[in-house]
Amino acid sequence: MLKAAPAEMARTSEERWRVLKRLAAPQLPQGAPTSPALANLAAHGVDVRLAAAAASIDAVYTRYAGDVAFSFDARGARRASRFHILAAGVALDEGLSVQFRKTRFVRPGAAQRLAGLVINKHPNVPRREFDRLKAMLHRAANHGPVAVSGLRQRNVRAQLLGRISWVEQANPAGPSRFALYSRVSPGASQLAEPSIHATVGVQCQVQASQTRCDRDTSFGCPT
């Protein structure tokens, strides 16, 4: 427990007040290296209960951060409409909230999406994300980072690097985009770039879901 704001984080009284306010907030910080582990600890109870409920009807339970999916074979698909009510009840009983408007049922042959990835045969980035990243890189290489739309103008190269890492970890066999990225000039407003290994946790999570989302029918119930 911290009794005072860290000196290196707050030099003025106003900065110290802001730091202490953030430390006292009931919510955990987002994007921290510890976030995945803390999320798994918090969701352990619901994971156990939902996995057992899914197994009882030969379905497969998958959770990626706050997104939950159940995969059924052809026989179990008929039970999906009733099963999602049970799943939502378990989540609510465990103290979680359920975004019912985001619940969806996906039939065989349709694009099955979970956490921004298409997971029909194996986790992969949607084609439009490939095309969007390519367009961003070409624009940044030819006109500079400030010409890229859809990104915060602070540290654009680091944001592009993060998108490249995400795409290539989901599809390592695809064409590399680092050569095009190397043509992007830093620009005056850019900060030091993070290590590419900063997104290795995403790769592990993608691989973990690869063996679970390959059934005939699935529906997502984001919590």
> DSSP of 133-166, one letter per residue?
HHHHHHHHHHH-GGG--SS-SSSHHHHHHHHHHH
- What's the CA gap between 87 and 97, in Å, rounded? 12
> What's the pLDDT at 187?
52
Instruction: Quick: pLDDT tens for 16-66.
Output: 777 777 777 767 667 777 888 888 998 999 999 999 999 998 899 988 878
Q: Phi-psi region for residue 217, left (φ > 0), alpha (ψ -120 to 50) or beta?
A: beta
- Is it the case that residue 220 has pLDDT exceeding 70? no
> What are the structure tokens assigned to 67, written together?
């997104």
Residue boundaries of the structural domains of the chain: 35-111+216-220, 127-206
pTM of the model: 0.59
Average pLDDT value for residue range 76-92: 87
Average pLDDT value for residue range 111-133: 83
> What are the structure tokens assigned to 94, written together?
């465990």
176-181 own/partner pairs: CB under 8 Å, 24+ apart: 177/133, 177/134, 177/137, 180/134, 180/137, 180/138, 180/141, 181/137, 181/157
